[in-house]
Amino acid sequence: MESIIKRTFYLSVLIGFTLQSYGQGITATEIIRRADEKFNGEKSGYSVMSMTIVRPAWKRSVEFKNWTLGRDYALTLITAPAKEAGQTFLKRGNEMWTWNPAINRLIKLPPSMMSQGWMGSDYTNDDILRESSVVTDYIHEIAGEETIGGRLCYKIMMTAKEEAAIVWGHQIRWIDKNDFLILKAELYDEDGILVRTETGSEIRNMDNRTIPTRVELVPAEEPDNRTVIEIREIKFNIPVEESFFSQQNMRRVR
């Protein structure tokens, strides 16, 4: 009997150790990195999207294409509506520009404009041009697990590093445990006040990846407002060179 008890005890310890090791097998930073790469591509990406800005009295839509290379290069082209078609936004490293063909003018965006709304939406210039990095600019911690949309998710607390020049003081992200999909995010300012909530839905397979194809943003102070992004086409790890992301290409990209 004593030997059976000992074997049972050792087996319980072994199982407990195994489960503990499994739970510690992936870090919060790795979860965030995998979720970020799942949506943006490990090296580069191309997407065609529509953005609908909804207000109590009106709504309007903007269509655009977006090319990215790592964290340092991004080029966005507005394709509709007609009066704004051809306008482009470029990021190279820490420098950003916008080109407006209607006035034939290239404007450099100062860092102070990164928190301003992009094309009149609830998204910021920082969101579209990806100035900050969710992987390197935050300290990550697994805060628990919750179910979102019927999927069990990691709940990740993200606290901005002191040296990081970014818009948000901290974020909370809910990331699907199986497919590393970002299904919900809450973004807070430096004072810890909730600024906006984003939810991902309409999960589909695009370019051999399962991703949310609809993202809805609701500002906390104006819950009747929202901005909805819908992905129409997306490609990951496309062949694109740094030279593509140039001021000259801002004028001719289509």
The string of pLDDT tens digits covering residues 86-129 is 999 999 987 889 999 999 999 998 877 877 888 989 998 777 76
pLDDT of residue 5: 35
SS3 per-residue string spanning the chain:
CHHHHHHHHHHHHHHHHHHHHHHCCCCHHHHHHHHHHHHHCCCEEEEEEEEEEEECCEEEEEEEEEEEECCCEEEEEEEECCCCCCCEEEEECCEEEEEECCCCEEEEECHHHCCCECCCCCCEHHHHHCCCCCCCCEEEEEEEEEEECCEEEEEEEEEECCCCCCCCCEEEEEEECCCCCEEEEEEECCCCCEEEEEEEEEEEEECCEEEEEEEEEEECCCCCCEEEEEEEEEEECCCCCHHHCCHHHHHHCC
pLDDT of residue 14: 33
How big is the chain by its Cα radius of gyration, in Å?
Answer: 21
pLDDT digits (tens, 9 = 90+) for 163-214: 887 888 999 999 999 999 999 999 999 999 999 999 999 999 999 999 999 9
pLDDT of residue 129: 66
Best-predicted range by mean pLDDT (10-24, 30-44, 233-247):
233-247
Select from 2.50.20.10, 2.40.160.20, 3.40.50.9100, 3.40.50.1950 the CATH code of 28-252: 2.50.20.10
Instruction: Choose the weakest-confidence range: 15-19, 76-80, 222-226.
Output: 15-19
The yes-or-no verdict on residue 137 having pLDDT over 60 is: yes
**Both structure tokens of 251:** 């004028």
pLDDT of residue 10: 34
Instruction: Choose the weakest-confidence range: 14-18, 21-25, 72-76, 150-154.
Output: 14-18
Classify each residue of 88-104 as buried b or exposed e, where b means 16 or more C-beta atoms within 10 Å of its C-beta: bbbbbeeebbbbeeeee
pLDDT of residue 94: 79
pLDDT of residue 24: 53
The yes-or-no verdict on residue 150 having pLDDT over 70 is: yes
> Which residues, listed in sequence order, are joined to residue 139 by a DSSP beta bridge?
159
The yes-or-no verdict on residue 12 having pLDDT over 80 is: no
Domain ranges of the chain: 28-252
The yes-or-no verdict on residue 16 having pLDDT over 80 is: no
Residue 200 burial (CB count, 10 A): 23
Classify each residue of 178-197 as buried b or exposed e, where b means 16 or more C-beta atoms within 10 Å of its C-beta: ebbbbbbbbbbeeeeeebbb
pLDDT digits (tens, 9 = 90+) for 200-239: 999 999 999 999 999 999 999 999 999 999 999 999 999 9
